[in-house]
Amino acid sequence: MKRSKFKKWGWLLGILAFYAILWPYAKIDFIQFFNGLPTMFNWLMRSWPPDLSEVPIFLERAVETVAIATIGTTFAAIIALPIAFLAASNMNPHKQVYHFVRMILNSLRGVDSFVFALIFVAAVGLGPFAGLLGVAVHTIGSMAKMFAEWIENAEMESFEALETSGCSRLKVIIYALLPDAWPSFTSIALYFWEFNVRASTVLGVVGAGGIGQELKNSMDLLDFSRLLTILVIISIMVMIIDRVSVNLQRRLQ
């Protein structure tokens, strides 16, 4: 009992020490924050009423953002599915390949889609295609990892029985594992789709298309009434996507 209590206190002290080390690097300044509140309030007052003159353009850019997230997530799911079997320890008997694939996935997950979009802008030029590629590459790492974890925790009795009866591993995966995994995999893909719609709203800042480009232009010009209109459209778009995603996931349960 004493040892367990000592261990808990050790964890608590370790966490406090961790925050104590990081705190100076965050450069938190509440005085500066409160001094900036009047400026923020002034911007808010200047944003009313919203500028509705360019709503058709903003809606087109919003659709572009949804396209980036949707097609990027779809590409990621198609690529992540076969990779997940290489990243699942109970499916891949080759440990070196397993660890190599896991390392690649962790690398992709560790770099944000925003950074990938910036790289792809340099490679393929300005526009939504660069944003789509950025979303897809980052999502492959995260989605494949979640797929692999589901596979590792799946009940393998029917899988092993079919394999013992002489069926090839590929057939067993297609006819035994995937039917059970499909609802969970689809739910995971919907989660990333919803997340990527939100993430894609800022990709235009680096020239990767979508409504983020209009958002950046408004900030650069200090056109706050235009900015408010864009923020309202983004909020409505995200709420609609969130509701659609939740309803689809409920149908899968």
Give domain status of residue 17, yes or no.
no
Provide the greatest CA pair distance for the chain: 74
Q: Which residue type sits at 92?
A: N
**Looking at residue 230, what is its pLDDT?**
87
Q: Provide the 10 A C-beta neighbour count for residue 53.
A: 10
Q: In the chain, how many domains are there?
A: 1
| Whole-number pLDDT of residue 161 | 64
- Which tens digits make up the pLDDT trace of 54-92? 788 889 888 988 899 999 999 999 999 888 888 887 777
Q: What is the pLDDT of residues 1-28, one digit of tens each?
A: 556 667 777 788 889 899 989 888 888 8
- Block residue for tokens 């591993």: 169
Range of 183's domain? 56-252
Domain assignment present for residue 11? The answer is no
Say what the pTM is: 0.79
pLDDT band at 156 (very low <50, low <70, confident <90, very high): low
Judge whether 29 lies within some domain. no
Residue 18 lies in a domain: no
Contact of 50 with 235, CB cutoff 8 Å:
no
For residue 148, what is the domain's CATH number?
A: 1.10.3720.10
pLDDT of residue 158: 63
Calculate what percentage of the chain has a pLDDT beyond 70.
88
**Within a domain: residue 195?**
yes
Query: Which long-range contacts (C-beta less than 8 Å, at least 24 apart) are formed by 83-88?
Result: 83/140, 83/144, 84/143, 84/144, 84/145, 84/147, 84/148, 84/151, 85/148, 85/151, 85/173, 87/144, 87/145, 87/147, 87/148, 88/148, 88/149, 88/151, 88/152
For residue 158, being part of any structural domain is answered with yes
Separation of alpha carbons 244 and 253, rounded Å = 15
Q: What's the confidence (pLDDT) of residue 139?
A: 92
Q: Is residue 223 part of a domain?
A: yes
Q: CA-CA distance, 112 to 166, in Å (whole number)?
A: 44
Q: Is residue 211 part of a domain?
A: yes
Q: Which tokens is 142 given?
A: 């995260």
What length is written for the chain?
A: 253
